[in-house]
Structure 1
């Protein structure tokens, strides 16, 4: 009688020891997982802060780019208006200028004698036009 009771008590003791070892192992594993969770939570929190900072910087850069785009558009309009005015003034000046035909001849390479013969200019007038509007190699 004692023998089966002793065997049952020994088996119960071994099972209790095994359960205590497993319980200790589970507690230790739970502590490691808790530590890993806290580390990962800190990393995620840091990444979230970095993303918020990057988004804020991107919005600031976007607003600056929009302001520069507006300035470029305004400047482009002003340049186009000035170009139109200069073209109008240039066309009016060239057509109204008494020497416009002679200046074109000088730019195409006419000499002093050619200007004097074709346009009836004096030698000094032809030389002055060539000096003002001619290329350097024609002097």
Structure 2
């Protein structure tokens, strides 16, 4: 019986030793997990701050782009208006210019006499039109 008691004590001692080793390993693992948790929490907090900064910058850039886009739209409208006015003035000037038909005749090779007879211009007017709008070739 003494022998049986001794075996039981040895088994109990071994079980207690195994439990103590397991408890020590679990405590160490818990401390390691807590440390890893704190490191990851700091990383997540830093990432959250970075994302908030990026969102703020994106909103600022977006508002600037919207402002520039509206200014471009206004400038585009002004350019369209100016182009229409230029085209209108150009057509108005060409069609209403009193010498436009005479200038076309000079460019197609009309002489001073032809201009005087067909358009009723004086000799000086016809010569001036030929000098200004005639061919630039010298004899």
In the superposition, the TM-score normalised over structure 1's length comes to 0.81
Aligned to 2:31: 31
Distance 1:104 1:125, change over 3 A: closer
- 1:81-100 Cα offsets, whole Å, 9 max, x none, are 11121121111111111232
Aligned to 2:41: 41
1:87 matches 2:82: no
Q: Distance in 1 between matches of 2:39 and 2:103?
A: 83
Consecutive unaligned residues of structure 1, counting only runs of 5 or more, are none
Distance 1:4 1:44, change over 3 A: same
Consecutive unaligned residues of structure 2, counting only runs of 5 or more, are 117-124
Task: Quote how far apart the aligned CAs of 1:119 are.
Answer: 3.6
1:125 to 120, 123, 129: 129
Task: Quote how far apart the aligned CAs of 1:105 are.
Answer: 5.9
Distance 1:20 1:105, change over 3 A: farther
Q: Distance in 2 between matches of 1:93 and 1:9?
A: 122
Q: Distance in 2 between matches of 1:52 and 1:105?
A: 74
DSSP-derived class of the 2:56 partner: helix
DSSP-derived class of the 2:29 partner: helix
**Contact 2:94 2:100 survives alignment (8 Å):** yes
Regions of 4+ moved over 4 Å: 102-106
In the superposition, the TM-score normalised over structure 2's length comes to 0.81
**Contact 2:103 2:133 survives alignment (8 Å):** yes
Q: How many residues align?
A: 128
Moved more, 82-91 or 26-35: 82-91
Q: Distance in 2 between matches of 1:99 and 1:32?
A: 98
Task: Quote how far apart the aligned CAs of 1:54 are.
Answer: 0.8
Report the RMSD for the aligned CA atoms in angstroms: 2.1
